[in-house]
Amino acid sequence: MEHTDPFAGERLKLSPFHARQAPMNLRDAWSSWNSYKFADYYYDAQYEYFCIRNTCGTYDICPMQKYEIRGADALAMLNRMVTRDVAKLKLDRVTYCCWCTDEGRMIDDGTIFRLGDDHYMLTCGSPCLAWLRQSALGFTELTVRDISEERAGLSLQGPTACAVLKAMGLAAIEQLKPFGILHFDFRGDTLMVSRTGFSGDLGYELWIDRSLALDLWDALYSAGEHHGIHPYGEAATNMARLEAGFIMPAMEFNEALKTVNFQLDQTPFELNLGWLVDFRKPHFNGRSALLRERDKGPKYTLVKLDIEGNKPANDAILYADRRCKGEIGYVTSAMWSPAAKANIALAMVRTKYLAGDIFAEIYYPKELRPYRKVARCTVRDKPFWAPARTRQTPAPDR
């Protein structure tokens, strides 16, 4: 008798790289992302983090959402949807962008790849097809296709990333500029490489048809054998991105379409992403609301904090004085940064209090018992991790 799985629809999907990643996940530390089985870490998050900072690591971005947007109206539709001017995006270039509701509240951030005259790829962390459909209303020369399942993506990040790709035989890869795209023949198909990533370090993202995912993995790991290549999971990527000052949904911002309480989402100005909002464009979604927000000034501003001591300030509430009277903000992400040797955090602070003293009320455990401390915070403008190689072309070997 044939056995049918009553929970078939509930089971997590497996990434095209799963066959290689699963045996390496020594701790079976799986969580999920967009209904894919996804590694939180493989063996030890700290170790994986050090691979990103000292050698290189791979991060599975198959669960990331990928949309192919084509047609004569593709540019007009994208340019109306996102706050940045996509008309400036040249062929084989990538741009970081965000998009907002009519009220200027941030729905998500992501990247747009320009792959042809009327051909773009949009990537983002959460499913966005419903919003794309709404955004497509009235644009007739347009097709929007979800290619998340058919395109495999693998991020390769760290100082030796370029050396690995060179060893794999990708000619002139070191000449690829940040946010540039190159195409290579790979097993009779095309391997697309973009110099992009989420680590704040030198890094690339590799895009290929899912049928060739394991071949790509093998070629990459064979080339990287002596360059310290290692897979890393969500925990290590979260450490790296925090040092780089990158925001995460559900941590720094609440996706506006999923926010239940009115205005507990954020605007790009609150998230310090005002530089993504191009008011020289006559129209884009949320423009009027964002213009008002710019002129009025955001109520909160996301800042990088350097906090005294070494106790991570997770979930800490911020005050303007040491006695903790009157809240002025809250920490969104925090960690001890091994690279910066600093106690760092991202925090939302009431804009008018930014110039004054900021204190974090931190609770930390010692042998199961919680302790409290109040630590002075200093606002930092620069990312905690931003090595020169991230921007250098040709990219160095390490």
Partner 1 sequence: MDRYDTIIVGAGHNGLICAAYLARHGQRVLLVEAADAAGGLASTREFHPGFHVAAAHTVYQFSPQIAKELELAKHGYADSGKPLSTIGLDPEGNHVAITAEGVSGVDAEDADRYRRYRAELETFRDALAPFWMKRMPGIGGNSAQELLTFAQLGLRLRRLGREDMLEFFRVATLPMRDLLDENFANDRLKAALSWDGIIGGRLAPRSPNQSVLMLLYRLCGEHGGQHVVPQAGIRGLIDALVAAATGAGAQLRLGAAVKQILVEGDESGLRATGVELASGERIAADRVVSSADPQRTFLELVGTRHLEIGFSNRIRRLRCEGYVAKLHLALAEEPRFRGLEQADGRMIIAPDLDAIEFAFDDAKYGQCSSDPVMEIVIPSLREPALAPPGQHLLSAHVMYVPARLKGGWTADAREALTSRLLDELERYAPGLRKLVLHAELLTPADLETLHGVTGGHWHHTEFAIDQLLMMRPTYEAAQYATPIPGLFLCGAGSHPGGGLSGAPGHNAARVILS
* Least distance CB 91 / partner 1 (angstroms): 23
**228 in Cβ contact with 160 (< 8 Å):** yes
Q: Helices in 266-320 by DSSP H: which ranges?
A: 287-296
Helices then strands (H, E): number in the chain? 8, 19
Pick from 96, 139, 179, 221 the residue near partner 1 by CB under 8 A: 139
* Least distance CB 282 / partner 1 (angstroms): 2
Asked if residue 383 has a cis previous peptide bond (ω within 30° of 0), the answer is: no
Place of tokens 């020169």: 388
* Least distance CB 107 / partner 1 (angstroms): 10
From 321, 331, 397, 341, select the one nearest 363 (Cα to Cα).
Answer: 331
Exposure class string for 343-354: b at 16+ Cβ within 10 A, else e = bbbbbbbbbebe
Pick from 4, 8, 185, 283 the residue near partner 1 by CB under 8 A: 283
* 81 vs 377, beta carbon nearer partner 1: 81
| Separation of alpha carbons 63 and 261, rounded Å | 28
* Least distance CB 73 / partner 1 (angstroms): 8
Is position 280 an interface residue for partner 1 (rule: CB under 8 A)? yes
* 142 vs 220, beta carbon nearer partner 1: 142
Interface size with partner 1, residues (CB under 8 A): 21
Residue list 76-115, contact with partner 1 (CB under 8 A): 76-77, 80-81, 101-102
**Span interacting with partner 1, options 135-143, 189-197, 220-228, 318-326, rule CB under 8 A:** 135-143
* 71 vs 159, beta carbon nearer partner 1: 71
* 290 vs 345, beta carbon nearer partner 1: 290
Is position 8 an interface residue for partner 1 (rule: CB under 8 A)? no
User: Exposure of 381 by Cβ count < 10 A (0-12 exposed, 13-18 middle, 19+ buried)?
Assistant: exposed
Under DSSP, the state recorded for 249 is B
Is position 138 an interface residue for partner 1 (rule: CB under 8 A)? yes
* 47 vs 139, beta carbon nearer partner 1: 139
Pick from 63, 200, 233, 286 the residue near partner 1 by CB under 8 A: 286
Is position 134 an interface residue for partner 1 (rule: CB under 8 A)? yes
Hey, what amino acid is at 155?
S
Pick from 288, 327, 341, 391 the residue near partner 1 by CB under 8 A: 288
Is position 287 an interface residue for partner 1 (rule: CB under 8 A)? yes
From 203, 281, 207, 262, select the one nearest 237 (Cα to Cα).
Answer: 203
Is position 135 an interface residue for partner 1 (rule: CB under 8 A)? yes
| Separation of alpha carbons 393 and 370, rounded Å | 48
* 116 vs 138, beta carbon nearer partner 1: 138
| Separation of alpha carbons 233 and 230, rounded Å | 10
| Separation of alpha carbons 326 and 340, rounded Å | 31
| Residue span 193-222 as binding mask against partner 1, x where in contact by CB under 8 A, dash where not | ------------------------------
Is position 137 an interface residue for partner 1 (rule: CB under 8 A)? yes
| Separation of alpha carbons 15 and 62, rounded Å | 6
**152 in Cβ contact with 17 (< 8 Å):** yes
* Least distance CB 138 / partner 1 (angstroms): 3
Strand 189-194 with 203-209, pairing: antiparallel
* 131 vs 186, beta carbon nearer partner 1: 131
Is position 282 an interface residue for partner 1 (rule: CB under 8 A)? yes
* 112 vs 344, beta carbon nearer partner 1: 112
Strand 229-231 with 56-60, pairing: parallel
Partner residues linked to 114 by β-bridges: 93, 120
| Separation of alpha carbons 220 and 67, rounded Å | 25
Pick from 131, 186, 269, 319 the residue near partner 1 by CB under 8 A: 131
| Separation of alpha carbons 161 and 196, rounded Å | 12
Residues binding partner 1 (CB under 8 A): 76-77, 80-81, 101-102, 131, 134-135, 137-139, 279-280, 282-283, 285-288, 291
